[in-house]
């Protein structure tokens, strides 16, 4: 009936070709998962910057000895089991049969190498290995970690210290971490060799990072069906929202606070929200005798507690929560969130918002006309970071303090403030150990560059009593006594107004409805638990 | 009666005004509703921008007067709006109407300064090129050709970027205006140069120029005193239209974030900031500055159009 048998044959071939091409696409679901953030992971080197996004992206490629589970409980990753065999000694048994992405086996030598790398020059994660004095190799798959003093929370602390391959680092001249402060790069920023469920296939800084599934991953029970994951930074908030709405990406975070209701009600999309364990606060330079960026000459206004208190009381965090964060924040008087071990409700009472009291304090301190000071702020790291800073600037202007705001991308912001090249800055902090000792040590102890203590205390707030208590807290094993010590240390810091806490921000992740993932309270997103249905 | 100096000045102005009013151009103006309309709109916009200090209900740059709790108020006629803020407020609590007036001031200042600089450079080079001729003329015209092959925005971006990289970071705020004016001016001088060169070539061969040369007037004096007044006609039309283009270029650069510093926003900056909130329903922070920009540019363009038609001898 149709034309010649040849035409029929060709037609049948064409149809079957089309079917062969289209059918697998509809059945296989996820090959590629595209996700975006407001900023980029600044490097693929897991020791180069202690920043949640970088650690979260590299957590798919590298692994620590001990990791976090879906409810933030400790889970064995590189190590299969651990126990304290003596007051300062922990025996870790390492997982056997694990290979790095390049095929070399994972052994104790890699752990010892990673320890030296993480506590050496250029490392930004010294705080996680600070209490370790040495690591002894017992055999290829067993090590002893020796701490300076009894340190009962060691397994909690090392969950963000990732293990790298000794042979790979030596071959690629990456034995020293990329130093963000000095801007020294090496291969580890652009290539990676870990033991995680994903391999790094391509890295274009500020453009695109491509991860592919590691089919030799030791854990065959992980639920993910993602074969390729593409991460892009999209700084502009409306572009990010548009990208998700148009289907160009499958997931993005953070959702700009003004768009949360819209995305939550959009068809085919969903928004996951939860309180985050991150506290946003302002820090002030309290060490220098004269501020770097101020018109006050010959003295440092921030050294006077009255000035710090004046700043504190000039800021209306409730207005910020209502207007800037649109409710997605919890005002806080402490540097830690309610989910962190050591949080005390009785200490969480802010000084009242009182611009008149503020002006009086400034006059008493000798600044009746106020003064000028420079402020540094990121614009692509925290939720509404630049908007919060602008609001703070306006509130301080009302009490006579003239703030020159410099808001910039975190790529230039972090190196600057980590060098302590600032007078007044904003920072956010999630204790990677979910325990108050971490911020007491990293944020509120007197800075000591060699040991890594106070590495993120960028204003150099210093109170020897807090330092002494922090050391005690590290080795105190009796829980009730430990809590009491933490309470005392936090009270001293709060009375000193060492920093100005603002609030805990809330997480908002937006994704297509067919994406299933686990929203960790520390804002980490593990691809291994992400399923695209 | 005794006439005093102010009286004499006033009468001189009145005489000039009535001469203008009764002239051909005045006639054309009076009988063109478009021109009158455009002039009225432009006058209102420019006037309120120039006198923003007195006209604007608030000073949007005085941080001490901002109240965060006023933020994101919709325009006065919607519910939740308030007559305190006629066109609503932005996310910091700034009154949109005041921000537009002050922003227009910045936009106008930069636009006018850029056009002026453009005029000086373009007319000067065009005169030189046309009068002297020879190799200088060839060289300058090739330069013009090269510059014309680039889009103006690209040239402005390039110059802006190079100057920013060359200058230290801390002084960016102060020099941003100068950098912007230079960048826009250097991207637009070419059309003046070519127009003036063409007119100069024509005037050069006329008798009055030859006569001046014979007497021994210096070339510079000939160019400025004899040729220049005769070539300015079309240049004025170009300049009027160019003002609109310069304002738009400045708005584009500010929108892209490489224009004026955020402490003294122009209309472009306002549109950029407001754009992020368009999706979430706060349309007034971007629509009103955008409408102001459109009105301003449109009225100036229409005036330029009318001027070109009025000065065109073939249409009279």
Assign 3-class secondary structure to B125-160. Answer: HHHHHHHHCHHHHHHHHHHHHHHHCCCHHHHHHHHH
Task: Name beta bridge partners: A429.
Answer: A279
Cβ–Cβ of A238/B91 closer than 8 Å?
A: no
Q: How far apart are CA A370 and CA A395, in angstroms?
A: 13
Q: Does A327 touch chain B (CB under 8 A)?
A: no
Count contacts between A and B (CB, < 8 Å). 53
**Closest alpha carbon within chain A to B257:** A236
Q: How far apart are CA B89 and CA B99, in angstroms?
A: 9
pLDDT at residue B169, rounded to an integer? 63
Task: Retrieve residue B189's tokens.
Answer: 């001088």
pLDDT at residue B91, rounded to an integer? 84
DSSP string, A333-370: SSSS-TTSBT--GGG--PPPP-HHHHHHHHHHTT-TT-
pLDDT at residue A510, rounded to an integer? 94
| Residue A491 host element (H or E) | helix A479-496
pLDDT at residue A467, rounded to an integer? 95
Cβ–Cβ of A398/B63 closer than 8 Å?
A: yes
CB-based contacts of B140, cutoff 8 Å, min separation 6: B125, B128, B129, B193, B197
DSSP string, A188-211: GGT----SSSEEEEEEETTTEEEE
- Taking chain A (533 residues) in runs of 10, the rounded mean pLDDT of each run is 69 66 47 92 92 93 92 89 91 92 92 93 88 92 92 89 93 88 85 93 93 91 92 90 93 90 91 92 94 91 94 95 92 92 92 95 93 92 92 92 89 90 94 91 91 91 94 89 94 95 94 92 90 89
Angstrom distances, CA of residue A389 to CA of A65, A393, B65, B226: 38, 6, 17, 59
pLDDT at residue A127, rounded to an integer? 87
**Chain B neighbours among A 51-110 (CB < 8 Å)?**
none
| CB < 8 Å to A376, chain B | none
Cβ–Cβ of B66/A320 closer than 8 Å?
A: no
pLDDT at residue A26, rounded to an integer? 41
Percent helix, strand, coil in chain B (nearest 5)? 75, 0, 20
Q: How far apart are CA A302 and CA A296, in angstroms?
A: 11
Closest CA to A279 of A439, A165, A424: A439
- In terms of Cβ atoms closer than 10 Å to its own Cβ (0-12, 13-18, 19+), residue A137 is middle
A260: Cα separation from own chain's centroid: 22
The alpha carbon of residue A529 is apart from the nearest alpha carbon of chain B, in Å, by 31
Angstrom distances, CA of residue A509 to CA of A251, A257, A271, B171, B183: 7, 11, 6, 39, 42
Task: Retrieve residue B272's tokens.
Answer: 């950029």
Task: Name beta bridge partners: A229.
Answer: A33, A211
Task: Name beta bridge partners: B52.
Answer: none
Q: What is the DSSP letter of A323?
A: I
Task: Retrieve residue B304's tokens.
Answer: 């330029």
Instruction: Give the position of tokens 């709006």.
Output: B81
Q: Does A242 touch chain B (CB under 8 A)?
A: yes
Angstrom distances, CA of residue A449 to CA of A122, A208, A419, A471, B277: 11, 34, 11, 16, 43
Q: A12 by DSSP, 3-state: which? A: helix
Cβ–Cβ of B68/A394 closer than 8 Å?
A: yes
CA dihedral B22, B24, B30, B36 (to 10 degrees): -120
The alpha carbon of residue A398 is apart from the nearest alpha carbon of chain B, in Å, by 4
Cβ–Cβ of B280/A394 closer than 8 Å?
A: no
| CB < 8 Å to B278, chain A | 238
Cβ–Cβ of A394/B275 closer than 8 Å?
A: no
CB A130 within 8 A of CB A250: no
Cβ–Cβ of B71/A395 closer than 8 Å?
A: no
- Per-residue pLDDT in tens (0 to 9) along chain B, 316 residues: 566 777 787 887 777 777 777 777 777 788 888 888 998 998 999 998 888 888 888 888 888 888 888 888 888 888 888 888 888 888 888 899 999 999 999 889 999 999 999 999 999 999 999 988 899 999 999 999 998 888 888 888 888 888 878 877 656 666 788 888 988 898 889 999 999 999 999 988 899 888 988 998 888 888 888 888 888 878 888 888 899 889 989 888 888 877 787 777 888 888 888 888 887 788 899 999 999 999 999 998 888 888 878 777 665 4
Cβ–Cβ of A238/B93 closer than 8 Å?
A: no
Q: CA triplet B64, B66, B72: central angle to 5 degrees?
A: 165
Q: How far apart are CA B157 and CA B161, in angstroms?
A: 6
**Closest alpha carbon within chain B to A320:** B68
Of A236, A262, A320, the CB nearest to B68: A320
Q: B252 by DSSP, 3-state: which? A: helix
- Report CA torsion sign: A439, A441, A447, A448: negative
């Amino acid at each position: 009936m149709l034309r010649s048998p040849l035409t029929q044959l060709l037609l049948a071939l064409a149809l079957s070709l089309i079917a062969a091409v289209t059918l697998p696409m509809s059945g296989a679901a996820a090959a590629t998962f595209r996700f975006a953030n407001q900023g980029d992971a600044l490097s693929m080197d897991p020791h180069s910057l202690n920043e949640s996004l970088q650690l979260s992206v590299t957590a798919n490629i590298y692994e620590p000895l001990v990791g976090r589970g879906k409810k933030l409980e400790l889970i064995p990753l590189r190590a299969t089991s651990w126990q304290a065999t003596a007051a300062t000694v922990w025996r870790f048994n390492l997982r056997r049969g694990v290979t790095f992405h390049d095929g070399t086996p994972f052994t104790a030598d890699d752990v010892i190498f990673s320890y030296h790398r993480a506590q050496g020059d250029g490392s930004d994660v010294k705080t996680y290995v600070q209490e370790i004095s040495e690591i002894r190799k017992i055999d290829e798959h067993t090590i002893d970690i020796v701490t300076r003093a009894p340190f009962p929370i060691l397994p909690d602390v090392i969950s963000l210290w990732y293990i790298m391959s000794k042979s790979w680092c030596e071959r690629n001249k990456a034995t020293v971490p990329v130093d963000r402060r000095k801007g020294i790069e090496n291969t580890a920023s652009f290539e990676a060799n870990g033991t995680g469920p994903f391999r790094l296939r391509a890295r274009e800084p500020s453009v695109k990072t491509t991860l592919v599934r590691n089919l030799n991953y030791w854990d065959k029970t992980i639920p993910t069906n993602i074969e390729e994951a593409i991460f892009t930074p999209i700084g502009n908030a409306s572009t990010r929202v548009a990208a998700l709405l148009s289907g160009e990406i499958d997931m993005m975070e953070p959702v700009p606070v003004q768009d949360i209701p819209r995305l939550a009600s959009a068809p085919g999309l969903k928004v996951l929200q939860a309180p985050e364990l991150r506290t946003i606060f302002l820090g002030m330079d309290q060490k220098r005798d004269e501020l770097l960026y101020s018109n006050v000459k010959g003295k440092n206004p921030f050294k006077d507690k009255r000035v710090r208190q004046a700043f504190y009381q000039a800021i209306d965090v409730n207005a910020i929560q209502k207007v800037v964060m649109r409710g997605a924040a919890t005002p806080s008087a402490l540097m830690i969130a309610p989910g962190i071990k050591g949080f005390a409700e009785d200490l969480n009472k802010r000084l009242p918002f009182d611009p008149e009291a503020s002006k009086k304090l400034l006059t008493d301190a000798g600044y009746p006309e106020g003064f000028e000071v420079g402020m540094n702020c990121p614009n692509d790291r925290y939720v509404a970071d630049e908007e919060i800073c602008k609001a703070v600037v306006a509130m301080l202007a009302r009490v006579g303090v003239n703030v020159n705001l410099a808001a910039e991308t975190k790529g230039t912001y972090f190196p600057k403030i980590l060098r302590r090249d600032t007078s007044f800055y904003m920072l956010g902090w999630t204790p990677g150990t979910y325990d108050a000792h971490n911020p007491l040590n990293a944020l509120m102890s007197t800075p000591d560059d060699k040991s890594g203590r106070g590495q993120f205390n960028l204003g150099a707030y210093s109170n020897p009593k807090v330092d002494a208590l922090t050391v005690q807290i590290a080795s105190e094993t009796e829980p009730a006594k430990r809590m009491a010590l933490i309470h005392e240390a936090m009270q001293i810091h709060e009375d000193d107004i060492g920093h100005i806490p603002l609030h805990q921000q809330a997480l908002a992740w937006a994704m297509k409805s067919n994406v299933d993932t686990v929203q960790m309270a520390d804002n980490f997103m593990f691809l291994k638990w992400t399923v695209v249905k | 009666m005794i006439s005093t100096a102010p009286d004499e000045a006033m009468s001189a102005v009145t005489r000039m005004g009535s001469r203008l009013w009764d002239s051909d151009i005045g006639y054309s103006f009076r009988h063109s509703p478009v021109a009158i309309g455009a002039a009225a709109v432009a006058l209102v916009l420019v006037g309120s921008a120039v006198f923003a200090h007195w006209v604007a209900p608030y000073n949007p740059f005085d941080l001490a007067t901002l109240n965060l709790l006023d933020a994101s108020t919709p325009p006065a006629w919607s519910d939740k709006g308030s007559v305190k803020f006629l066109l609503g407020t932005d996310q910091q609590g700034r009154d949109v109407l005041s921000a537009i007036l002050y922003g227009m001031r910045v936009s106008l200042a930069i636009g006018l300064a850029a056009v002026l600089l453009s005029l000086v450079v373009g007319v000067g080079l065009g005169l030189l090129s046309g009068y002297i001729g020879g190799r200088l003329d060839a060289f300058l015209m090739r330069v013009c050709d090269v510059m014309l092959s680039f889009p103006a925005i690209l040239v402005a971006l390039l110059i802006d970027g190079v100057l920013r990289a060359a200058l230290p970071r801390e002084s960016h705020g102060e020099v941003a205006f100068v950098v912007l004016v230079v960048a826009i001016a250097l991207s637009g001088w070419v059309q003046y140069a070519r127009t003036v060169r063409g007119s100069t070539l024509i005037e050069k061969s006329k008798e009055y120029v030859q006569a001046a040369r014979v007497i021994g007037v210096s070339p510079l004096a000939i160019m400025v005193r004899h040729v220049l007044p005769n070539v300015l006609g079309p240049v004025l039309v170009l300049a009027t239209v160019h003002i609109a283009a310069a304002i738009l270029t400045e708005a584009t650069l500010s929108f892209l974030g490489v224009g004026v510093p955020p402490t003294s926003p122009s209309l472009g900056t306002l549109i950029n900031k407001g754009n992020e909130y368009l999706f979430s329903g706060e349309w007034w922070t971007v629509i009103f500055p955008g409408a102001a920009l459109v009105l301003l540019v449109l009225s100036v363009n229409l005036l330029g159009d009318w001027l070109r038609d009025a000065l065109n001898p073939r249409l009279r």
